Structures are given as structure tokens and as C-alpha cells.
Chains A and B, each alone.
Chain A
Amino acid sequence: MPVDLAQILEITGRTLQVCFTALGVALAVGLPIGIALGRRRSAGRGSLALVALINSGMGAPPVVVGLLVALTLWSSGPLGGLQLMYRPEAMVLAQIAIALPLVIGISLAAAGSLEEDWELQVRALGIPARWRVWLLLREIRLGLLAAVIAALGGILSEVGAVLMVGGNLEGETRVLTTAILMYTRMGEYATAIGLAAVLLGLMLVLAGLLTLVQQSGRR
């Protein structure tokens, strides 16, 4: 049962849609948290525990994350009433759970590497608040883009969690990684290899673009 171009496009499109939605949410939530944690002036016990949790989240097996999301979304779970299981939204949630610790952890490290009195120095120049934020983002942009690349790589290549909560339903929740897994199991290696090439190409193009942005200001 070879796939046609329309199917490849459909699967690729869904892959990108799910990934970018998850990435967008993870960045919107994770970057402010990571930067704020990285720039906190004193490390209390509470924030230390939070950082430890984030660091372990960065290495959490995606399958375990998928299982936790599935437990939450199953009809008996706390969010069961939303009936998101086996829908793209469930995959987005699982990918957010995978990407968020990466985004927070890496942006935290980037922000933490700045001098302790950096904000004070910029404030001492009387620069307005929103420009100070701009300067801070500019200052740590290498680290921030590393966070984006890591998060994108983590969710684009992930298969366990999306399979568990998405179910690889044709035309609904099938994405590149789950499709590759399925065709490999079916022995349709040519199709699997073709889809793998698409996935690899996507990752190369996206990482390349981000790297260009990341390194453009390094003069």
C-alpha cells in the first residue's frame, strides 16, 4: 500500500502544524519562565527545587511523558471530559510537555550566564524597560535559539508520546514519525525511507534557518 504525494504532503503538513503549535506554546510559556529563573537575584530553596525539576524534565523519556499526558486525557483522567485523546490536540499537549523543560532549562542557563549586575548596569543608563528587555534578548539570543533548536528537534523527531496519545489514525493523527514506524513494521521499507528522508530534510532546513538567524549577529 504505497503512499501517494497527496498523503505525504498531508502527513508532512500535519507534522509541521502539530510541531509548530507545540513549539509556539512552549516558547511563549517557557522563555519568560526560563529567563526569569535565570535572572533571579537569589536562589531560594523553592526555586532550586523548580530548577532541579526542570533539569530532570529535560531528560525525561518521551514515552513516560506521553503516558502521563495519556493518563490525564483518558476519559477517567482529570481532563477526560475534554475528549482530546486520539486527536491532534492531544499530540500538541504531549509535545508541549516534552519541549517545555528544554525551553525553560536552556533559556535559564543562557540568562544565568550574564553578569549578575547586568540589569543594574542597563538600568543605570536610564534605558526604558521595553528596550532593556530587547537588549537582554539580544544579549542571550545564541542561547535562546539553542533552546528553540533543541525543542524543535525534540518534538519533530519524537514518536513514542505522539503514538500513545495520537494513535496514528490515518487522516487524523498520523504524522511523519508515526508513519515511518508503521511502514517499517509493515515491511514497506521504501515508503519508510522516503518519509524518513522528508523528516530529515525538514529538520535540516529548519535547523539551518535557525542557525543562520543565530549566527547572523555574531560580528
Chain B
Amino acid sequence: MTPRVVLRARDLRVERRSRRGSFALEVDELELREAETLVVLGPNGAGKSTLLRALAGLETPARGSVEAFARGPATLVFQRPAALAGSVAHNVRAALLGRGLTRREVASRSGAELTRFGIAPLARRRAVTLSGGELRRLALARAFVLEPAILLLDEPFDDLDGAGQAALSLDLRRVIEQTGVSVAVVTHDLRRALLLGDRVAVLDAGRIRQLDRREAVLERPLDPAVARIVGMTNLVRGRFARVSAGTQAYVEVDAQHRVPVLGEWPEGAPVWLGIRPEHLKLDVGRGEIDPIGKGVVRGVVSDGVAVTATIEWAGADLRAHLLAGRGLARSLAPGDRVSLSVRPEHVHLMPA
């Protein structure tokens, strides 16, 4: 059974003009399904906020339409939520203005949301004195007090520190599951996108480049531009080759470098091969499975959890992620010669 669609944008074009030039967002079709979380991933300036505002009905499109089929309201939480003058409680109650509710109903509904987002102790504080994380919780409480069927989130974790992001994303996940709200969230942060999303749409330069299940977008990006956005940063050009039927196919990057791959492409077809940094294996001693040759370590950066090594291979700079503090990650240094390997199923081919 296909899930019910709660929001649909069709043939949408939104134009924006500013001193920096004009920008147009064009979306042929975008659907938000009931109770799903759709993540729109894209770099800064891709048009994510514009898309979200158009979905919320806050932008007048030059063409096309946005239709909502939900049983409740749609609301948008902005990247930098506005704190209204007055208390935190007033900020949540304000969202219910003009709806014909009694004072008691307003108080009980807003009180429940303040509790749900852990800011009930701050209810009497002036909203403008809140920290960034508290203000985001207030903005979410203010959105959920409307009992929305559709929630649109613009970079909900931007500017928060690591602990604040983790706490808020867990709370948000819980509330989304409790309420069954359909969510569209835009972000430039790949990790957050992975944490929240059922489906991922990749937006770049005002166009949706790919929209699919999270794993499909991550593992099988349509082109190098999408690949870069979803973190498949190792991109090298080559030609598809198979010595004879039934043998291992490979991509020939140059005379010395070839990468074993799966799949069927015309002999000699120019292709992009994409490898996620976590799938590129390094070894200094005996060769591992399917070695693709040797490379020279150019740089090693660690954030305490992961080590990112940059390796020059076949004239390209490849990146490999290793777990910090383990094995090779403890000793790897610039100048080291390493043997590189990758499983054929981890090599993704795109037409060049």
C-alpha cells in the first residue's frame, strides 16, 4: 500500500531577486508522505529555505502549486527562531491566539508542550534571554502546540554545540514518533540528515537532483555533484573494462591503476567512480583483498573519533576514514606509503 501524501509541490517555480543576483527554485514534483521524515540535503545557497517556505505557503510561486492534504495545520520552524517579547510561556500561548480557545485550554496545551520539550522551568523567563538551544526548544514547543500534521524544519540543529545537537535531535525524534507528524527538514549537515531522515532529497542550485530512500541516495548517487553532497568524496574518472566474459570487470584510471567493480557497462565507456571514505581501506604490510595499488599519505587529521587521511593515488587525492586510536590510525603519518583496497560492491559507477 502506498503511503498517503500529505503535501505535494508540483511544477513549482519560486523566484528570488536580491542585490547578489536572481535565483530560481524549480521543483517538478515533491511529495511528503504521511508520518515520514523527508530530509532535504544541500549546500548553502541551494534554495533549501526557499523550498521550505514555499511548502509552508509563505512564498508566492511564479508558477506551479503546493497542495496540502493533511488533517491538521502545517507549520514552519525557522533557522533562527524569533523570540517574541514577553515570557517563554507567552511565546507558546501566542501561537494559539485568535483560535477561540478558553484560557484554560491555552494554558494546558502550552504547558504540556513546555514540559515535553523540557523548558517548563523556564516558563516565566523572558524569551529574549534564552540560549540558542533553549530558543530552539521554545520554537519547537510553539510549533507543536498547534498540533500540526505537517512540520517543516529549517536547519533545526544549526549553531548548537555537539551535546545540544544530540539531546535535541533525540527529543525531536521522540516527539515526531509520539505525534506521528509528517516532517520535512532541510539541512546542510549530512550526519543530521542521516539521523532523522527516512527519505533524502538532494537539492543543489535550486533543483532536486535526487530523491530516494536514505541508503539509496547515500550509496548510489546519480552524479558526482550529488555524490559530493552525500559525502561520497572520492571521485575519479576512468574507463570501464572487462577482459573477457565472466571475468572481473574493472575501471581503468590510467595504465598503472585499475579498480575492480561490479555492474555492466559498455566496454571502454567513460565513467566516474565514487568511493565513500569509510570504504577505502589502508594497509602498510601485506596486501588486503582487492588491492588497487599504493598511495602516499599527504595528510592526517583526527577529531578524536575519526581519523581522516588524505592519500595521493593515481594523481588524485583520496580520503579514507579510520577509527581513531585503533590499528593503523594510531601510527599513520604524512609521507607513509600505503596499500589501498576497496571491495567491488563499494565502488559506485556514474556516467561521465
CB–CB B95/A127 < 8 A: yes
CB–CB A139/B98 < 8 A: no
Residues of B within 8 A of A139 (CB): 84-85
Q: Which segment, of A63-71, A130-138, A198-206, faces chain B?
A: A130-138
CB–CB A128/B85 < 8 A: no
In the assembled complex, how far is the CB of residue A64 from the closest CB belonging to chain B, in whole angstroms?
Answer: 37
Q: Which residues in chain A, 117-159, are within 8 Å of chain B measured between CB atoms?
A: 117-118, 120-128, 130-131, 134-135, 138-139, 141
In the assembled complex, how far is the CB of residue B73 from the closest CB belonging to chain A, in whole angstroms?
Answer: 5
Q: Smallest CB-CB separation from B56: which chain A residue?
A: A124
Contact count A vs B, C-beta below 8 Å:
55
Q: Which residues in chain B, 78-122, are within 8 Å of chain A measured between CB atoms?
A: 78, 80-82, 84-87, 94-95, 97-98
Of B86, B97, B142, B143, the contact of A217 (CB 8 Å cutoff)? B86
Residues of A within 8 A of B82 (CB): 114-115, 117-118, 121-122
CB–CB B98/A127 < 8 A: yes
Residues A128 and B78 in contact in the complex (CB < 8 Å), given A123-B58, A139-B84, A139-B85:
no
Q: Smallest CB-CB separation from B80: which chain A residue?
A: A115
CB–CB B73/A121 < 8 A: no
Of A115, A126, A131, the contact of B146 (CB 8 Å cutoff)? A126
Residues of B within 8 A of A118 (CB): 82
In the assembled complex, how far is the CB of residue B286 from the closest CB belonging to chain A, in whole angstroms?
Answer: 59
Residues A124 and B97 in contact in the complex (CB < 8 Å), given A217-B85, A219-B87:
no
- Report which B residues bind A (CB closer than 8 A): 53, 56, 58, 73, 75-78, 80-82, 84-87, 94-95, 97-98, 126, 142-143, 146
CB–CB B81/A128 < 8 A: no
Q: Which residues in chain A, 6-63, are within 8 Å of chain B measured between CB atoms?
A: none
Residues of B within 8 A of A219 (CB): 86-87, 126
- Report which A residues bind B (CB closer than 8 A): 114-115, 117-118, 120-128, 130-131, 134-135, 138-139, 141, 217, 219
Give the secondary structure class of A's interface: helix
In the assembled complex, how far is the CB of residue B140 from the closest CB belonging to chain A, in whole angstroms?
Answer: 12
Residues of A within 8 A of B58 (CB): 120, 123-124
Known contacts A127-B95, A219-B86, then 6 further A-B pairs from the complex at CB < 8 Å, ordered by chain A residue? A114-B82, A121-B76, A124-B77, A125-B75, A126-B95, A128-B97
Sample (15) of A-B pairs whose CB atoms are under 8 Å apart: A114-B82, A121-B82, A124-B58, A125-B75, A125-B142, A126-B73, A127-B97, A128-B97, A130-B98, A131-B97, A135-B97, A138-B84, A139-B85, A217-B86, A219-B87
CA distance A219 to B128 in the complex (A): 11
Residues of B within 8 A of A128 (CB): 97-98
CA distance A137 to B199 in the complex (A): 42
CA distance A122 to B142 in the complex (A): 11
CA distance A217 to B87 in the complex (A): 10
Residues of A within 8 A of B81 (CB): 121
In the assembled complex, how far is the CB of residue A5 from the closest CB belonging to chain B, in whole angstroms?
Answer: 45
Residues of A within 8 A of B126 (CB): 219
